[in-house]
Amino acid sequence: MKKTLIISQNFYPEIGSAGNRMKNIYLLLKEQGLDVEILTTQPSYPNKHFYDENHFWDNTELNEDKNIHRIKIMKKKYSRNIFNRLFYYLEMAIKMIFFVLFSRNKYDVIFVSSPPIFVAIVGLIAKYRFRAKLILDIRDLWPESLKGVGVFNYSIVIGLFEKIEKLLYIQANNIVVNSKGFIGYIVSKSKVFADKITYLPNGARNYEINISEEKGSDDFKVIYAGNLGLAQDVTAIMNLAKELNERNIKLTIIGYGIRRDSLIDYIKKKDLKNVEFVNPTTRSECFKIISNHQVGIVTLVEAEVFETVLPGKVIDYMTCGVPVVASVSGFSEKMIEDGKTGFVSHNLDELIKCIEELKENDKLYDEMSLNGRKYVEHNYLWEKNIDHLIRVIS
């Protein structure tokens, strides 16, 4: 039987789509009888102190799993300073490389998840160290996303990263992407990459759809759940919060990330009584909270690279039967509109009108709620889609 090593910065019990993706891939491959190990870090996203609380460690099987190899990173991670982040990534990569070089195990397949690109480089080293097949998992276009958020535009360094990026595409035996929007970008680097690409989206588990069916509130409430970082249009969330407060519509925010504090300060300064902040929690608890709301908000800053992405919260809202109101473009916009699972606009007044229409029109709300669940069941169930990866591995 082929032995697979997964290499990923993010993994259980970390919150966020990256950790959840790796958790599901690892568990489902094991359930299908594959011999799998994972090399990852001690949980630290978005804050390592979250994981001092036992309720995040809610999977006994993973807590006792001896095939999970975790490295400890000393450098503080989520600094606003991009160079501090780079030092964090370098420390992580070096420690992972030491694991690869001195491991006595034999691996036939290396599955490495990027970003950051430094972890992908570890996967390339592992390919040659173990003479293994390399599967490169692309969760975000890096370094394109760095340029998209406008915080790191040093052309010499970006140029170096782009050369490394193309090298990784060349050296990978297979490339897995979590958004169809990435395919055109990768193929634009070279048409020969087209035959290497497999689409494996983030998604939901069957039991999560069952959790989400437990509606428990008759009040009309709006929710934003997820990262509040540089890629998210937090200014749009601020403006929405103000407008919703004036209309006496409740807004719940389950947010984390480097712009969370500035959003909290804004809410306090404007004295927005209808806005409630909820501390980040486990995925199952988050789903229960989302299910008690009627609209899910998604925002991304306007940049070409973000037209290729599908934010995980879009799938989460749909899994919970919550219509989406979004300020997004490209692939995400098309998916929401094709599935008739919500509304998309870049105009604040139009977004408010969409929310009000869902509040007043029960029939429309029920249709979009049902459409979301069906769309996830048909296209975004991990239990179905994992077969694509199993075929690539074998």
Distances (CA, A) of 249 to 260, 286, 313, 317: 21, 20, 21, 18
Residue 214 has a pLDDT of 52
Residue 104 has a pLDDT of 93
Residue 46 has a pLDDT of 87
Residue 164 has a pLDDT of 94
Contact 152, 142 (CB under 8 A): no
139, exposed or middle or buried, with CB in 10 Å at 0-12, 13-18, 19+?
Answer: buried
Residue 212 has a pLDDT of 54
Residue 230 has a pLDDT of 86
Residues 116-132 have pLDDT tens digits of 999 999 999 999 999 99
**Residue for token digits 């420390």?**
91
**Residue for token digits 């160290």?**
129
pTM value is: 0.94
> CA 355 to CA 349: how far, in whole Å?
10
Mean pLDDT calculated for residue range 98-103: 97
For 172, residues 6+ apart whose C-beta sits below 8 A from its C-beta are 134, 135, 136, 196
More confident residue, 234 or 157: 234
> CA 330 to CA 306: how far, in whole Å?
8
> CA 96 to CA 243: how far, in whole Å?
48
Report the percent of the chain where pLDDT is more than 90: 81
> CA 62 to CA 389: how far, in whole Å?
21
Q: How much is the mean pLDDT over the chain?
A: 92
Residue 293 has a pLDDT of 95
Q: Is 229 helix (H, G, I), strand (E, B) or coil?
A: coil
Which residue segments constitute the domains of the chain, with CATH numbers given? 3-200 (3.40.50.2000), 206-379 (3.40.50.2000)
Residue 209 has a pLDDT of 85
